[in-house]
Amino acid sequence: INVLWSQMNVSKYVAIFSFVFIQLISVGKVFANADEWMTTFRENIAQTWQQPEHYDLYIPAITWHARFAYDKEKTDRYNERPWGGGFGLSRWDEKGNWHGLYAMAFKDSWNKWEPIAGYGWESTWRPLA
């Protein structure tokens, strides 16, 4: 029984070591491509800022809190009218993917102002195009 137990422990450690080793190799590949990825990211942001195709208006309309996840007393205290708004710049690239820069402020669940700003990217798949 001890021999079998030892073999199981060795197998377990070999599996764990293999998993960690493969992850480290993957991380190395990610860092090797980090410069290329960051350059593409910066270029997409710059192009969206300098050559927007659309100007977007953001108007939050409703916030919904999952009734199954909270009791009624809690949901009654939450703000579900997120007053606020925002503005954005967006464009479509040659692959049909969307890029956008946005800034927005709205009232959160606790009725406090929540400012956000960022860059968004959405990949699109058009198999019949």
**How high does pLDDT run on average in the chain?**
84
User: Measured between alpha carbons, how far is 122 from 125 in angstroms, rounded to an integer?
Assistant: 10
Residue pLDDT, tens place only, 59-80: 988 877 787 888 888 888 888 8
Annotation marks residue 6 as catalytic: no
For 46-122, CATH gives 2.40.160.20
Residue by residue, DSSP assigns 46-62 as: HHHHHS-SEEEEE----
Q: Name the pTM for this structure.
A: 0.65
Residue pLDDT, tens place only, 31-60: 667 788 889 999 999 999 999 999 999 998
% of the chain at pLDDT higher than 90: 43
Catalytic residue among 35, 56, 108, 123: 108
Annotation marks residue 108 as catalytic: yes
Query: Where are the domains positioned within the chain?
Result: 1-32, 46-122
Residue pLDDT, tens place only, 16-30: 777 777 777 666 666
Which one-letter DSSP state was computed for residue 111?
Answer: S
Residue-wise burial string across 75-104, b where 16 or more C-beta atoms lie within 10 A, e elsewhere = eeeeeeebebebebbbbeeeeeebbbbbeb
